[in-house]
Amino acid sequence: MNGILVVLKKEVRENLRDRKAVFNSLLLAPILFPVLLIGMTWLGTSAQTERAERVLEIPVVGAEQAPNLIRYLEQHGVVIKPAPDDPESLVRSQKEPVIIRIPEIFGEQWQAGRPAEIEVIIDPSRPESDIPISRVKGLLRGFGSEIGLLRLQMRGVSPIVMSPLLIRDVDLSTPQSRGMIFMLFLPYILMITAFMGGMHLAIDTTAGEKERHSLEPLLINPVPRWQIMMGKLLATAIFGMASLVLTLIAFRITLPYLPLAALGVDLGLGAVAMVSILLVVAPIALMAAALLTVLATYAKSFREAQSYMGLVILIPMVPTLMFMSNPVKPEASMMPIPLFSQNLLISELVRGEAVPVQWLLYSAAGTLIFAFALMAFAATLFNRPRVMFSDS
Amino acid sequence: MIEVRNLHKSFGKVKAVSDMTFEARDGEITGLLGPNGAGKTTTLRMLYSLLPPDEGDIRIDGLDPTRDAMAIKTTLGVVPDSRGLYTRLTARENIRYFGELHNLPKQTIEERIESLAATLDMGEFIDRRTEGFSQGQRVKVAIARAMVHQPQTVLMDEPTNGLDVMSTRALREYIRSLKDSGQSVVLSTHIMQEVAALCDRIVIIAKGKVAATGTVDELISRSGRDTIEDAFVQLIGSEEGLMA
């Protein structure tokens, strides 16, 4: 067992001296991800408030057909722009998000008390026009129902008959659960951090050792090869964990600067939540270290190993993408699945939900079994001549 | 004391070593002399239990590398073909790492490093990171880390490869000092002068086989030539691989 510790200590010390390794493994994720997330949230909220509060300027074709409607719109702050020649092409080319066209038949229908046609020219496939579209439609609907009420009252009918249903939302989302972007990305970011933190070491301690021609002298020492491998693998896991801890701390520091209040969100990353999240992700760091070490051991050179790593980074993305397109309700039966369970559990923890202890245990056990299997496999690798002499 | 009997090793269809038999005694320097690709490195790798032989027996002080790998590794000092050092560690840390892998007490390691640094004249660079070391400096570190546990048997693969004249002289002196203290030294080389200057006993290897063994004088007289170089060409039957 002495061998494991000696190798572990040496790999950690050696890599702490490598500025590139320290930056890539320990500092990149804690700096990059909070900045990225804050930037994304900030952009999202500011764009949303801007669009919701900006003065609507809407071109109207045939404004003279419906002077009352135009007056209503102007009273509600809409600036009516003169009619363009070709409204469709203006919308299509994104010069205008919404154009209202009042057909000539409008006046006739209106006078007759029939539903009067009105066209709203839009392209709903443009997400940035969502807000103007819904504002214009809301105003038109408001005008319509105002007139409808007046007409009923003139005929001596109570306007209540128009409202057979009264729909009231009972909002059960807690303030935390509204931090959508944050919650969707935090599990993914943490999982990627566990992978990224160990990546440089996994390569340096295996493929790098081969490339430097120091593997053969190392294996001549009277230490069982599996112990040498385990020392390397655990050093990788330690870097992954360190990166995780630093990233969580970075989030805790930067969270107050997230403009979440604007979204009506109050996200807490308290000490208890942080420690729980760390415990949930820790087995992933071990599993990632084992997976990365196995792959890097097969590579002949640093460069070849790096190209494998590019693909590995995609693995933690799988559950996030799945949950994005197909949200699932967390259940005990999903907990033994590595990556999936952590993804669900972190979401629950950040949301401030109480998570059954049983789930935490299933998750840790499932991932650790997987990690141990990979470690057992890794332990045999230095016994393979193909792995040892791939350069000669 | 190394005894090798009827050793065989193939890689796929390539027979790297076939039916090799020789011995290396304590207090002697044994040279494995042969052209490049003759099977010297493969033989050494089997001796230090990095490769298992296909057939045949190896005994090092009575121990079998295939069965007593761990025990043999504590008695062997090996300077292998690949001399990779850890460039982000100092020379001292490189040597200390190997001492720790041998599970030596801290105090012992530090004392041995001091004495090796003195013997191998490493004082100037012992506490520098090995990044950018000259070939000679690298070989010295590689030797020091192989000797930190004071092995009884020393195996060196082309030890003077790439060294300048001064470093080569110093290294030969060091190897002689090992012999004088009763250790068994085996070195592989393709350089004739090395053998003539250093070795008590020579094992000439060609195409994975032992072509001849004996002292320098014995080999010269057996071949009927005047120099060890001519004797060597005569004994292996070609000049192939001697240009280096």
| pLDDT score for A330 | 82
| pLDDT score for A17 | 93
pLDDT tens-digit map of A53-107: 778 888 998 888 888 888 888 888 888 888 888 888 888 888 888 899 998 888 8
User: pTM, whole model, 2 decimals?
Assistant: 0.79
| Distance of alpha carbon B95 from alpha carbon B128, whole angstroms | 12
What's the average model confidence in pLDDT over B27-35? 92
Residue B148 has pLDDT above 90, yes or no: yes
| Distance of alpha carbon B96 from alpha carbon B145, whole angstroms | 8
Neighbours of B15 (CB within 10 A): 16
CA-based nearest residue in chain A for residue B79? A217
> Could you say which of A18, A220, A385 has the minimum Cβ distance to residue B80?
A220
Residue A109 has pLDDT above 50, yes or no: yes
| pLDDT score for B196 | 84
| pLDDT score for A179 | 55
What's the average model confidence in pLDDT over B90-102? 96
pLDDT tens-digit map of A304-355: 898 988 888 888 888 888 877 777 788 888 888 898 899 888 888 877 778 8
Complex ipTM value: 0.91
H or E stretch including A326? none
| pLDDT score for A222 | 94
Helix-helix angle A225-254:A271-298, to 10 degrees: 140
Band (A271; pLDDT cuts 50, 70, 90): confident
> Could you say which of B48, B82, B103 has the minimum Cβ distance to residue A2?
B103
| Distance of alpha carbon A76 from alpha carbon B56, whole angstroms | 99
Q: What sign does the CA torsion over A205, A211, A214, A220 have?
A: positive
Band (A262; pLDDT cuts 50, 70, 90): low
What's the average model confidence in pLDDT over A248-254? 85
Q: In what order do the strands lie in the sheet with B201-206?
A: B76-79, B153-157, B184-189, B29-33, B201-206, B209-214
| Distance of alpha carbon A317 from alpha carbon A189, whole angstroms | 9
- Name A120's Cβ contacts closer than 8 Å, sequence gap at least 6: A98, A99, A100, A101, A133, A136, A137, A140
B25 alpha carbon, distance to own chain's centre: 14
| pLDDT score for B244 | 39
Q: Which of A160, A171, A194 is nearest to A313 (CA)?
A: A194
Residue A385 has pLDDT above 90, yes or no: no
Strands A57-61 and A98-101 come out as: parallel
Q: Which of A159-168, A255-264, A278-287, B109-118 has the lowest mean pLDDT?
A: A255-264
Mean pLDDT of chain A: 84
| pLDDT score for A180 | 63
| pLDDT score for B166 | 86
| pLDDT score for A9 | 95
What's the average model confidence in pLDDT over B136-152? 94
| pLDDT score for A392 | 42
Token pair of B162 as six digits: 């790439």
Are B16 and B9 in contact by the 8 Å Cβ rule? The answer is: yes
Are A252 and A32 in contact by the 8 Å Cβ rule? The answer is: no
> Across the interface, do B102 and A221 touch by the CB < 8 Å criterion?
yes
What's the average model confidence in pLDDT over B93-99? 97
> Across the interface, do B89 and A13 touch by the CB < 8 Å criterion?
yes
> Across the interface, do B78 and A217 touch by the CB < 8 Å criterion?
yes
What's the average model confidence in pLDDT over A263-288? 80
| pLDDT score for B144 | 95
> Across the interface, do B84 and A213 touch by the CB < 8 Å criterion?
yes
Residue A47 has pLDDT above 60, yes or no: yes
What's the average model confidence in pLDDT over A281-293? 94
> Could you say which of B71, B74, B85 has the minimum Cβ distance to residue A214?
B85
| pLDDT score for B30 | 95
> Could you say which of B82, B88, B102 has the minimum Cβ distance to residue A222?
B102
Band (B243; pLDDT cuts 50, 70, 90): very low
DSSP, collapsed to helix, strand or coil, labels residue B29 as strand
Are B178 and B15 in contact by the 8 Å Cβ rule? The answer is: no
Q: Which amino acid is at B71?
A: A
Winning range, highest mean pLDDT, from A311-320, B18-27, B187-196? B18-27
Q: How far apart are the first and last CA of chain B?
A: 31
At residue A73, φ and ψ (nearest 5 deg) are -65, -45
| C-alpha distance from A289 to closest chain B C-alpha (Å) | 22
A vs B: CB pairs below 8 A: 72
> Across the interface, do A216 and B81 touch by the CB < 8 Å criterion?
yes
| pLDDT score for A167 | 76
Question: Residues of chain B whose C-beta is under 8 A from some C-beta in A?
Answer: 48, 50-51, 70-71, 73-74, 76, 78, 80-89, 93, 97-98, 100-103, 142, 145-146
Q: In what order do the strands lie in the sheet with B2-11?
A: B14-24, B2-11, B55-60
CA-based nearest residue in chain B for residue A213? B84
> Across the interface, do A216 and B146 touch by the CB < 8 Å criterion?
no
| Distance of alpha carbon A388 from alpha carbon B51, whole angstroms | 10
| pLDDT score for A42 | 72
Of the residues B9, B79, B88, the best mutation for testing chain A's interface (the one with the most A CB atoms within 10 Å of its CB) is B88
Distances in whole angstroms, Cα of residue B208 to Cα of each of A11, A170, B202: 38, 86, 15
Q: What sign does the CA torsion over A383, A388, A392, B4 have?
A: negative
Residue B151 has pLDDT above 80, yes or no: yes
Higher pLDDT among residues A175 and A79, named by residue: A79
| pLDDT score for A256 | 75
| C-alpha distance from A362 to closest chain B C-alpha (Å) | 38
| pLDDT score for A362 | 93
Band (B28; pLDDT cuts 50, 70, 90): very high
Band (A171; pLDDT cuts 50, 70, 90): low
| Distance of alpha carbon B195 from alpha carbon B31, whole angstroms | 6
What's the average model confidence in pLDDT over A29-35? 86
Residue B56 has pLDDT above 90, yes or no: yes
Chain A hits for B83, CB-CB cut-off 8 Å, are 213, 217
Alpha helix locations (H) across chain A? 2-16, 19-22, 28-53, 67-75, 87-92, 105-112, 130-154, 180-205, 207-211, 215-219, 225-254, 271-298, 302-312, 317-325, 340-350, 357-381, 385-388
Strands A79-81 and A57-61 come out as: parallel
